[in-house]
Amino acid sequence: MRDETPGRMNAAVYKEKGVIAVESCDIPEPGPGDLLLRVSYCGVCGTDLHLTMEGWGRPESVGGHEYSGEVVAVGSAVRDFAVGDRVVGGATPGCGACEYCRMRRPSLCSGRGDLGLASALGAFAEFKCLAAASAIAIPEGLSARDAALCEPLAVSLHGITTSGIQKGQRALVTGAGPIGALTLAALRARGIEDVTVSEPSRARRELASAVGAARVVTPDVLEIPAMPFTVVEEPYDAVFECSGSELALRAGLAQLGKAGTFVLLGTGARYPRFDSNRMLLNELVITGAYNYDDGGFEDAIALLAAGTLPTEYLIHDEDVALANLQRAMERLVAGEIGGKVMVAPSV
Ligand code: NAD
């Protein structure tokens, strides 16, 4: 239910590990360079699950960073957007001056500060303020619901860029949550046809099949040869680790062929054990992929607008009101839901 009190809105506030409460709070005030959005949709990210269900969140914070919405007010200095425009929240611009920004690697910007997740006033709320410089217009013909996939798709595209994978090569994706499923979909869209997905949850294995995996397996199928110089029979050129599971890290590394690349997208694995002899003997590359390419949101929204991604599978078919967010998170953690859950805060 909408909060109709002038100047007030409902938001899903993180209270403590596993607990979210819908509370009335002030609608944020846009500064001169800001937009105020009425949030249309906000996806639930694996990071929101870590923050809420594992208790890393800061009490009284509001999560949600994968959002689309309609502009309802603009700051006095805003020229590029007007009331009624539809936008998604994009990346916080880098400083533009540090060595990493000059290398067009804004996710490494020296001025980015800490992750800022715990203090965010996010989009699990009816309204959200954002800098106009961070907003990306939603192209005509693209629904606000599909557009809310822009942020996680930009993460997946960054992983793919980082891997250097080429057409005709083979990929393994470990974990078919939203990031893994979008990585699979984006690999297919980029012409990589031979993609295997490893995933313990049945719902998500089914999702991976529907999205176009050539092969879908349970994690126990991935063999770890005893000797570090032994390469598996059908090795992969790139592994996209999208689960944050230590087991997936170990098994994924062992699936690489010589000179293969292992891309870490999943967070949270504590002290994973990588076989350094396997890395050395096969000249493997292990790299992190954090956030987005330079221009990654523009690429992601263009890919969504092209209409070729199977969003009917990628997005869970039941949208969620703020009041049901905690339950949806519980179901996500239990592996009961395959696709991306969209919160519709104004329902
Ligand atoms: P998610 O929790 O929904 O998905 C993780 C999936 O991994 C689940 O389906 C789970 O069943 C599966 N899994 C668990 N153990 C496995 C194993 N041994 N082998 C294969 N799969 C296994 O999360 P998500 O939203 O898809 O996000 C994935 C990860 O990416 C999270 O850790 C999230 O924090 C991280 N993330 C990273 C970035 C970045 O910039 N790199 C951005 C956003 C999210």
DSSP letters, 205-227, are HHHHHHHT-SEEE-GGGS---SS
Question: Which atom of ligand 1 is nearest to 268's Cα?
Answer: 32
205-231 pLDDT, tens digit per residue, is 999 999 999 999 999 999 999 999 999
The band of 315, judged by pLDDT with boundaries at 50, 70 and 90, is very high
Q: How many Å lie between the centroid of ligand 1 and the Cα of residue 213?
A: 17
Question: Which atom of ligand 1 is nearest to 247's Cα?
Answer: 18
DSSP line for 181-207: HHHHHHHHHTT--EEEEE-S-HHHHHH
Give 33's DSSP letter: T
Give 143's DSSP letter: -
Higher-pLDDT residue of 291 and 2 is 291
The Cα 196–Cα 188 span in angstroms is 11
The pLDDT assigned to 82 comes to: 97
Residue type, 17: K
> How is residue 24 written in tokens?
């009335």
Contacts 24+ apart (CB under 8 A), 78-84: 78/32, 78/33, 78/34, 78/35, 78/132, 80/132, 81/35, 81/132, 81/135, 81/137
The pLDDT assigned to 47 comes to: 86
100-127 pLDDT, tens digit per residue, is 999 999 999 998 765 545 446 899 999 9
> How is residue 302 written in tokens?
């263009």
The band of 3, judged by pLDDT with boundaries at 50, 70 and 90, is low
In percent, the amount of the chain with pLDDT more than 70 equals 96
Q: Which of 44, 45, 336 to mutate to test the pocket of ligand 1 (most atoms within 8 A of CB)?
A: 45
Distances (CA, A) of 56 to 50, 285, 295, 298: 7, 30, 30, 31
Which stretch of 50-54, 145-149, 215-219 has the lowest confidence by average pLDDT?
50-54
Which stretch of 41-50, 129-138, 270-279 has the lowest confidence by average pLDDT?
270-279
Total-model pTM: 0.95
Contact 178, 207 (CB under 8 A): no
